[in-house]
C-alpha cells in the first residue's frame, strides 16, 4: 500500500512539474514576443524621428526658392510638430491610431512640398535639396520596412497569445493583442496636385 502511495505522489509531482514548466515556458515566450513587438516599434519610431529631423533642413532649403509657397511650408512645419508631439503606446490602439494619423498628415504635407519643387528648376538642381530629397526617400523606405517588420512581430505575438491553451495563460496574465499599423484611409487613391 505504501508503494502505491509513493507512485501516486511521484506521478502528481511529475504532473505538477510538467505543468509548471509549461506555464513558465509559455509565459516567458509571451514576454519575449511582446518585447520583440516593443523593440520593433522603437525601431519604427527611430525612422519617424529621422524623417522629422530632416524636415527643417528641407523646409529651409525650399523656403529660399519658393518664398510665396508659405502656406505649404507652414503646413509641413505644423504637421511635423503634431507628429513629434504625439505619444505612442504599443498597448493602446487609440494612441497608435492617433500616431498613425499624425504621421499620415506629415506624409501628405511632405508630398505637397515635394510637388512644389517641380515648379522651381533652380531648386531641383540645388545639391543640398537633392541630398535632402534622397535622404528623405531613403527614410521613407526605411519607415516602410520597419512598419512591415513591426506588423510581422505584432502578428506573431497576437497569434501566439490567441492560440489554445496559451490564450488561457495570456488572459490570466493580462497580455493583450498588439495593434497593427494600417494604411491611412484614402491611401489607395493617388493625391491630386494642382499648381
Q: Could you give the percent of the chain with pLDDT greater than 90?
A: 38
- Cβ-Cβ contacts under 8 Å for 193 (sequence gap 6 or more): 111, 112, 115
Residue that wins the pLDDT comparison between 188 and 5 = 5
Per residue in 47-98, pLDDT tens? Answer: 989 988 888 888 887 777 766 667 777 888 888 888 888 777 767 778 888 8
- CATH match of 23-173 with 1.20.1440.20: yes
What are the grid coordinates assigned to 180, written together? Answer: 497593427
pLDDT for 128 beyond 60: yes
Quote the CA–CA distance of 54 and 47 in Å, as a whole number. 11
User: Would you list the domain boundaries of the chain?
Assistant: 23-173
**pLDDT score of 1:** 67
Taking 70 as the threshold, does the pLDDT of residue 9 lie above it? Answer: yes
pLDDT of amino acid 30: 95
Please, what is the Cα angle at 94 between 93 and 97, to 5 degrees? 85
Amino acid at each position: 500500500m505504501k508503494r502505491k502511495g509513493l507512485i501516486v505522489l511521484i506521478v502528481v509531482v511529475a504532473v505538477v512539474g510538467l505543468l509548471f514548466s509549461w506555464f513558465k515556458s509559455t509565459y516567458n515566450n509571451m514576454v519575449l514576443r511582446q518585447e520583440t513587438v516593443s523593440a520593433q516599434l522603437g525601431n519604427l519610431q527611430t525612422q519617424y524621428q529621422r524623417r522629422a529631423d530632416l524636415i527643417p533642413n528641407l523646409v529651409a532649403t525650399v523656403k529660399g526658392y519658393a518664398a510665396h509657397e508659405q502656406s505649404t511650408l507652414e503646413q509641413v512645419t505644423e504637421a511635423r510638430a503634431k507628429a513629434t508631439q504625439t505619444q505612442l503606446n504599443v498597448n493602446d490602439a487609440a494612441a497608435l491610431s492617433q500616431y498613425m494619423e499624425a504621421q499620415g498628415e506629415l506624409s501628405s504635407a511632405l508630398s505637397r512640398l515635394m510637388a512644389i519643387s517641380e515648379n522651381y528648376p533652380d531648386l531641383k538642381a540645388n545639391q543640398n535639396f537633392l541630398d535632402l530629397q534622397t535622404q528623405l526617400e531613403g527614410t521613407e523606405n526605411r519607415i516602410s520596412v520597419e512598419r512591415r517588420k513591426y506588423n510581422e512581430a505584432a502578428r506573431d505575438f497576437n497569434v501566439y497569445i490567441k492560440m489554445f491553451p496559451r490564450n488561457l495563460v495570456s488572459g490570466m496574465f493580462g497580455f493583450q493583442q498588439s495593434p497593427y499599423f494600417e494604411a491611412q484611409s484614402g491611401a489607395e487613391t493617388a493625391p491630386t496636385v494642382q499648381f
